[in-house]
Structure 1
Protein backbone atom coordinates (compact mmCIF):
# COMPACT_ATOMS: atom_id res chain seq x y z
CA UNK A 1 0.00 0.00 0.00
CA UNK A 2 1.24 3.50 -0.81
CA UNK A 3 1.70 5.85 2.11
CA UNK A 4 -0.47 8.94 2.39
CA UNK A 5 1.27 12.27 1.81
CA UNK A 6 -0.02 13.22 5.28
CA UNK A 7 -0.80 10.13 7.40
CA UNK A 8 -2.68 12.25 9.97
CA UNK A 9 -5.37 13.11 7.42
CA UNK A 10 -8.24 10.65 7.06
CA UNK A 11 -10.01 11.08 3.75
CA UNK A 12 -12.46 9.04 1.68
CA UNK A 13 -9.66 7.14 -0.07
CA UNK A 14 -8.16 6.18 3.28
CA UNK A 15 -11.51 4.96 4.61
CA UNK A 16 -12.05 2.77 1.56
CA UNK A 17 -8.49 1.47 1.66
CA UNK A 18 -7.56 3.16 -1.63
CA UNK A 19 -4.96 5.73 -0.79
CA UNK A 20 -3.75 7.94 -3.61
CA UNK A 21 -0.41 9.72 -3.34
CA UNK A 22 0.09 13.15 -4.79
CA UNK A 23 0.89 12.73 -8.47
CA UNK A 24 1.89 15.15 -11.19
CA UNK A 25 -0.58 15.25 -14.07
CA UNK A 26 -0.43 16.97 -17.43
CA UNK A 27 -3.65 17.96 -19.20
CA UNK A 28 -3.93 19.32 -22.73
CA UNK A 29 -6.67 21.81 -23.60
CA UNK A 30 -7.98 22.65 -27.05
CA UNK A 31 -10.85 24.53 -28.68
CA UNK A 32 -11.74 25.40 -32.27
CA UNK A 33 -15.43 26.29 -32.00
CA UNK A 34 -17.13 29.31 -30.47
CA UNK A 35 -15.29 31.58 -28.07
CA UNK A 36 -12.09 29.58 -27.97
CA UNK A 37 -10.28 31.58 -25.26
CA UNK A 38 -13.42 31.63 -23.10
CA UNK A 39 -13.57 27.84 -23.26
CA UNK A 40 -9.86 27.40 -22.47
CA UNK A 41 -10.07 29.85 -19.56
CA UNK A 42 -13.18 28.06 -18.30
CA UNK A 43 -11.30 24.76 -18.32
CA UNK A 44 -8.40 26.28 -16.37
CA UNK A 45 -10.83 27.77 -13.83
CA UNK A 46 -12.76 24.50 -13.48
CA UNK A 47 -9.59 22.48 -12.94
CA UNK A 48 -8.33 25.04 -10.44
CA UNK A 49 -11.64 24.76 -8.54
CA UNK A 50 -11.50 20.96 -8.39
CA UNK A 51 -10.96 19.56 -4.89
CA UNK A 52 -7.70 17.62 -4.54
CA UNK A 53 -6.23 19.37 -7.60
CA UNK A 54 -3.51 22.02 -7.36
CA UNK A 55 -2.53 23.79 -10.59
CA UNK A 56 1.24 24.17 -10.83
CA UNK A 57 1.55 25.66 -14.31
CA UNK A 58 -0.37 27.02 -17.28
CA UNK A 59 1.40 27.21 -20.62
CA UNK A 60 1.26 29.94 -23.21
CA UNK A 61 -1.51 29.58 -25.79
CA UNK A 62 -0.76 28.18 -29.23
CA UNK A 63 -2.82 28.35 -32.40
CA UNK A 64 -2.62 25.18 -34.44
CA UNK A 65 -3.97 23.70 -37.61
CA UNK A 66 -6.43 20.84 -37.01
CA UNK A 67 -5.03 17.33 -37.54
CA UNK A 68 -7.19 14.66 -39.16
CA UNK A 69 -10.25 16.91 -38.89
CA UNK A 70 -13.07 17.22 -41.42
CA UNK A 71 -12.52 19.68 -44.27
CA UNK A 72 -13.22 23.27 -43.33
CA UNK A 73 -12.33 22.84 -39.65
CA UNK A 74 -11.04 26.02 -38.06
CA UNK A 75 -7.70 26.36 -36.23
CA UNK A 76 -7.44 25.31 -32.60
CA UNK A 77 -6.23 27.25 -29.62
CA UNK A 78 -4.23 24.88 -27.41
CA UNK A 79 -2.58 25.00 -24.01
CA UNK A 80 -1.28 22.62 -21.37
CA UNK A 81 -1.75 22.70 -17.63
CA UNK A 82 0.34 20.87 -15.08
CA UNK A 83 -1.11 19.98 -11.73
CA UNK A 84 -0.63 17.93 -8.62
CA UNK A 85 -3.52 15.76 -7.51
CA UNK A 86 -4.52 13.02 -5.13
CA UNK A 87 -7.43 12.06 -7.39
CA UNK A 88 -7.31 8.74 -9.16
CA UNK A 89 -6.72 8.87 -12.91
CA UNK A 90 -10.32 7.73 -13.53
CA UNK A 91 -11.75 10.43 -11.28
CA UNK A 92 -9.59 13.03 -13.01
CA UNK A 93 -10.84 11.75 -16.39
CA UNK A 94 -14.45 12.01 -15.19
CA UNK A 95 -13.76 15.61 -14.15
CA UNK A 96 -12.21 16.35 -17.56
CA UNK A 97 -15.31 14.99 -19.31
CA UNK A 98 -17.61 17.00 -17.02
CA UNK A 99 -15.70 20.19 -17.88
CA UNK A 100 -15.97 19.39 -21.61
CA UNK A 101 -19.70 18.75 -21.24
CA UNK A 102 -20.18 22.05 -19.41
CA UNK A 103 -18.83 23.81 -22.51
CA UNK A 104 -21.05 21.94 -24.96
CA UNK A 105 -18.57 19.34 -26.18
CA UNK A 106 -20.10 16.97 -28.71
CA UNK A 107 -18.46 13.65 -29.52
CA UNK A 108 -20.34 12.61 -32.64
CA UNK A 109 -17.58 13.18 -35.25
CA UNK A 110 -14.13 11.61 -34.93
CA UNK A 111 -11.54 14.43 -34.73
CA UNK A 112 -14.41 16.83 -35.35
CA UNK A 113 -14.53 20.48 -34.33
CA UNK A 114 -15.05 21.00 -30.62
CA UNK A 115 -15.87 23.74 -28.17
CA UNK A 116 -13.49 22.19 -25.67
CA UNK A 117 -11.15 19.24 -25.47
CA UNK A 118 -9.64 18.28 -22.10
CA UNK A 119 -7.20 15.36 -22.47
CA UNK A 120 -5.23 13.58 -19.77
CA UNK A 121 -1.69 13.22 -21.11
CA UNK A 122 0.05 11.69 -18.10
CA UNK A 123 -0.98 11.06 -14.51
CA UNK A 124 2.15 10.26 -12.53
CA UNK A 125 3.64 7.06 -13.86
CA UNK A 126 0.21 5.48 -14.28
CA UNK A 127 -0.25 3.24 -17.32
CA UNK A 128 -3.71 2.32 -18.59
CA UNK A 129 -4.93 0.84 -21.85
CA UNK A 130 -8.65 0.18 -21.95
CA UNK A 131 -11.64 1.61 -23.77
CA UNK A 132 -12.17 4.51 -21.39
CA UNK A 133 -8.66 5.40 -20.20
CA UNK A 134 -5.32 5.31 -22.02
CA UNK A 135 -2.24 6.63 -20.25
CA UNK A 136 0.08 8.03 -21.27
CA UNK A 137 -2.08 9.55 -23.99
CA UNK A 138 -1.33 7.38 -27.05
CA UNK A 139 -0.71 10.22 -29.54
CA UNK A 140 0.73 12.94 -27.30
CA UNK A 141 4.33 12.03 -28.16
CA UNK A 142 3.64 12.92 -31.83
CA UNK A 143 1.58 16.07 -31.40
CA UNK A 144 3.35 19.40 -31.40
CA UNK A 145 0.18 21.12 -30.15
CA UNK A 146 0.68 19.20 -26.88
CA UNK A 147 4.47 19.10 -26.83
CA UNK A 148 5.16 22.78 -27.59
CA UNK A 149 3.10 24.23 -24.72
CA UNK A 150 4.28 21.47 -22.36
CA UNK A 151 7.89 22.19 -23.36
CA UNK A 152 7.36 25.80 -22.27
CA UNK A 153 6.48 24.53 -18.79
CA UNK A 154 8.75 21.50 -18.38
CA UNK A 155 11.20 20.79 -21.19
CA UNK A 156 12.86 18.04 -19.15
CA UNK A 157 9.55 16.23 -18.45
CA UNK A 158 9.13 12.76 -19.91
CA UNK A 159 6.30 10.82 -21.42
CA UNK A 160 6.92 7.39 -19.92
CA UNK A 161 8.09 4.98 -22.60
CA UNK A 162 8.50 7.70 -25.26
CA UNK A 163 11.18 10.17 -24.19
CA UNK A 164 11.57 13.75 -23.03
CA UNK A 165 9.18 16.43 -24.17
CA UNK A 166 12.04 18.43 -25.71
CA UNK A 167 13.28 15.45 -27.75
CA UNK A 168 9.78 14.52 -28.88
CA UNK A 169 9.04 18.12 -29.90
CA UNK A 170 12.21 18.21 -31.97
CA UNK A 171 11.04 15.09 -33.83
CA UNK A 172 7.47 16.38 -34.26
CA UNK A 173 8.49 19.82 -35.51
CA UNK A 174 6.50 23.03 -35.26
CA UNK A 175 4.73 23.06 -38.63
CA UNK A 176 1.29 24.62 -38.21
CA UNK A 177 1.94 25.52 -34.55
CA UNK A 178 2.19 29.22 -33.63
CA UNK A 179 2.68 30.62 -30.14
CA UNK A 180 0.14 33.38 -29.45
CA UNK A 181 1.79 35.72 -26.96
CA UNK A 182 -1.18 38.08 -27.35
CA UNK A 183 -3.41 35.51 -25.60
CA UNK A 184 -2.92 34.60 -21.93
CA UNK A 185 -4.71 32.19 -19.63
CA UNK A 186 -5.06 33.45 -16.06
CA UNK A 187 -4.76 31.55 -12.80
CA UNK A 188 -6.37 33.05 -9.73
Structure 2
Protein backbone atom coordinates (compact mmCIF):
# COMPACT_ATOMS: atom_id res chain seq x y z
CA UNK A 1 0.00 0.00 0.00
CA UNK A 2 1.28 3.47 -0.80
CA UNK A 3 2.12 5.90 1.98
CA UNK A 4 0.70 9.38 1.74
CA UNK A 5 1.82 12.32 3.85
CA UNK A 6 -1.04 14.54 4.96
CA UNK A 7 -0.87 17.97 6.59
CA UNK A 8 -3.61 18.82 9.07
CA UNK A 9 -4.28 22.39 10.17
CA UNK A 10 -6.81 24.19 12.34
CA UNK A 11 -7.14 27.75 13.62
CA UNK A 12 -10.75 28.03 14.80
CA UNK A 13 -12.54 26.87 17.95
CA UNK A 14 -10.84 24.00 19.80
CA UNK A 15 -7.94 23.49 17.41
CA UNK A 16 -6.53 20.42 19.19
CA UNK A 17 -9.91 18.72 19.18
CA UNK A 18 -10.32 19.26 15.44
CA UNK A 19 -6.90 17.69 14.81
CA UNK A 20 -7.90 14.72 16.99
CA UNK A 21 -11.23 14.30 15.19
CA UNK A 22 -9.45 14.50 11.83
CA UNK A 23 -6.91 11.84 12.87
CA UNK A 24 -9.72 9.55 14.03
CA UNK A 25 -11.65 9.96 10.77
CA UNK A 26 -8.52 9.47 8.67
CA UNK A 27 -7.67 6.27 10.55
CA UNK A 28 -11.20 4.98 10.10
CA UNK A 29 -11.87 6.02 6.50
CA UNK A 30 -8.59 6.61 4.67
CA UNK A 31 -6.03 4.20 6.07
CA UNK A 32 -3.79 3.23 8.92
CA UNK A 33 -1.76 6.06 10.43
CA UNK A 34 1.85 4.86 10.45
CA UNK A 35 3.41 7.95 12.00
CA UNK A 36 2.32 11.31 13.30
CA UNK A 37 4.41 14.36 14.05
CA UNK A 38 4.04 16.48 17.12
CA UNK A 39 1.64 19.38 16.96
CA UNK A 40 3.11 22.75 16.00
CA UNK A 41 1.76 26.28 16.31
CA UNK A 42 2.49 28.95 13.75
CA UNK A 43 1.19 32.31 12.67
CA UNK A 44 -1.24 32.23 9.78
CA UNK A 45 0.34 32.09 6.32
CA UNK A 46 -1.23 33.95 3.40
CA UNK A 47 -3.96 35.87 5.24
CA UNK A 48 -2.13 37.19 8.29
CA UNK A 49 -4.77 38.77 10.58
CA UNK A 50 -6.25 35.57 11.98
CA UNK A 51 -5.61 33.20 14.88
CA UNK A 52 -2.49 31.04 14.84
CA UNK A 53 -2.74 27.57 13.34
CA UNK A 54 -2.00 24.21 14.86
CA UNK A 55 -0.45 21.86 12.31
CA UNK A 56 0.46 18.19 12.26
CA UNK A 57 1.71 15.77 9.59
CA UNK A 58 0.56 12.16 9.31
CA UNK A 59 2.05 9.28 7.34
CA UNK A 60 -0.90 7.13 6.25
CA UNK A 61 -1.01 3.83 4.35
CA UNK A 62 -3.99 3.91 2.03
CA UNK A 63 -5.61 1.85 -0.68
CA UNK A 64 -7.22 4.97 -2.15
CA UNK A 65 -5.88 6.33 -5.44
CA UNK A 66 -4.83 10.02 -5.32
CA UNK A 67 -8.09 11.45 -6.75
CA UNK A 68 -10.16 9.21 -4.45
CA UNK A 69 -8.03 10.35 -1.53
CA UNK A 70 -8.70 14.00 -2.37
CA UNK A 71 -12.45 13.35 -2.56
CA UNK A 72 -12.39 11.58 0.79
CA UNK A 73 -10.36 14.37 2.41
CA UNK A 74 -12.81 16.97 1.11
CA UNK A 75 -15.69 14.89 2.47
CA UNK A 76 -14.02 14.59 5.90
CA UNK A 77 -13.34 18.33 6.01
CA UNK A 78 -17.02 19.02 5.29
CA UNK A 79 -18.07 16.44 7.89
CA UNK A 80 -15.99 18.32 10.47
CA UNK A 81 -17.68 21.60 9.53
CA UNK A 82 -15.24 23.24 7.15
CA UNK A 83 -16.77 25.95 5.02
CA UNK A 84 -14.66 27.33 2.16
CA UNK A 85 -15.05 31.11 2.12
CA UNK A 86 -11.67 32.69 1.54
CA UNK A 87 -8.42 31.28 0.18
CA UNK A 88 -6.02 30.82 3.10
CA UNK A 89 -8.74 32.04 5.46
CA UNK A 90 -9.61 30.77 8.94
CA UNK A 91 -10.93 27.20 9.12
CA UNK A 92 -11.80 24.55 11.64
CA UNK A 93 -9.84 21.95 9.67
CA UNK A 94 -7.68 21.77 6.59
CA UNK A 95 -6.18 18.60 5.14
CA UNK A 96 -3.59 18.69 2.37
CA UNK A 97 -1.91 15.88 0.48
CA UNK A 98 1.82 16.61 0.62
CA UNK A 99 3.13 13.44 -1.02
CA UNK A 100 1.57 10.25 -2.30
CA UNK A 101 4.45 7.76 -2.35
CA UNK A 102 6.76 9.03 -5.13
CA UNK A 103 3.88 9.94 -7.44
CA UNK A 104 4.08 13.10 -9.52
CA UNK A 105 0.61 14.15 -10.63
CA UNK A 106 -0.95 17.30 -12.01
CA UNK A 107 -4.64 17.44 -12.81
CA UNK A 108 -7.16 20.25 -12.76
CA UNK A 109 -8.04 19.43 -9.12
CA UNK A 110 -4.87 17.94 -7.68
CA UNK A 111 -1.12 18.48 -7.77
CA UNK A 112 1.22 16.02 -6.06
CA UNK A 113 3.65 16.74 -4.50
CA UNK A 114 1.93 19.75 -2.97
CA UNK A 115 3.19 22.68 -5.06
CA UNK A 116 3.98 24.96 -2.08
CA UNK A 117 5.47 22.35 0.25
CA UNK A 118 9.05 23.60 -0.12
CA UNK A 119 8.02 27.21 0.67
CA UNK A 120 6.17 26.60 3.94
CA UNK A 121 8.03 26.11 7.19
CA UNK A 122 4.79 25.14 8.99
CA UNK A 123 4.63 22.15 6.64
CA UNK A 124 8.29 21.22 6.54
CA UNK A 125 8.97 21.26 10.29
CA UNK A 126 6.44 18.52 11.19
CA UNK A 127 7.11 16.67 7.92
CA UNK A 128 10.84 16.58 8.62
CA UNK A 129 10.16 15.30 12.12
CA UNK A 130 8.69 12.06 10.75
CA UNK A 131 10.29 11.81 7.28
CA UNK A 132 13.56 13.79 7.15
CA UNK A 133 15.11 11.63 4.44
CA UNK A 134 12.08 11.30 2.16
CA UNK A 135 13.07 12.80 -1.20
CA UNK A 136 10.85 15.20 -3.09
CA UNK A 137 10.33 13.40 -6.44
CA UNK A 138 10.63 16.58 -8.52
CA UNK A 139 13.13 18.72 -6.62
CA UNK A 140 15.25 15.67 -5.70
CA UNK A 141 15.98 17.06 -2.24
CA UNK A 142 15.16 15.47 1.09
CA UNK A 143 12.63 17.08 3.39
CA UNK A 144 15.53 18.01 5.68
CA UNK A 145 17.29 19.78 2.80
CA UNK A 146 14.06 21.54 1.82
CA UNK A 147 13.64 22.77 5.39
CA UNK A 148 17.22 24.06 5.48
CA UNK A 149 16.59 26.01 2.25
CA UNK A 150 13.05 27.17 3.07
CA UNK A 151 12.56 30.90 2.42
CA UNK A 152 9.61 31.14 4.87
CA UNK A 153 10.62 32.88 8.11
CA UNK A 154 7.44 32.30 10.14
CA UNK A 155 8.15 30.90 13.58
CA UNK A 156 7.01 27.31 14.01
CA UNK A 157 7.04 26.14 17.62
CA UNK A 158 6.12 22.88 19.28
CA UNK A 159 2.68 23.19 20.88
CA UNK A 160 2.65 22.44 24.64
TM bucket by the smaller chain?
over 0.9
Which structure is larger by alpha-carbon Rg, 1 or 2?
Answer: 1
Structure 1 position 157 matched with structure 2 position 134? yes
Any conservation in 2 of the 1:141–1:159 contact (CA below 8 Å)?
no
Secondary structure in structure 2 of the residue aligned to 1:40: helix
Unaligned runs of 5+ in 1: 1-21, 183-188
**4+ residue runs over 4 A deviation:** none
Report how far residue 35 of structure 1 moved: 0.9
Structure 2 match to 1:45: 24
RMSD over aligned Cα, in angstroms?
1.3
Structure 1 match to 2:38: 60
TM normalised by structure 1 equals 0.80
Secondary structure in structure 1 of the residue aligned to 2:88: coil
Unaligned runs of 5+ in 2: none
Report how far residue 84 of structure 1 moved: 1.2
TM normalised by structure 2 equals 0.93
- In 2, Cα distance between equivalents of 1:56 and 1:80: 11
- In 2, Cα distance between equivalents of 1:32 and 1:170: 26
Any conservation in 2 of the 1:62–1:177 contact (CA below 8 Å)?
yes
Structure 2 match to 1:170: 148
Aligned length: 158
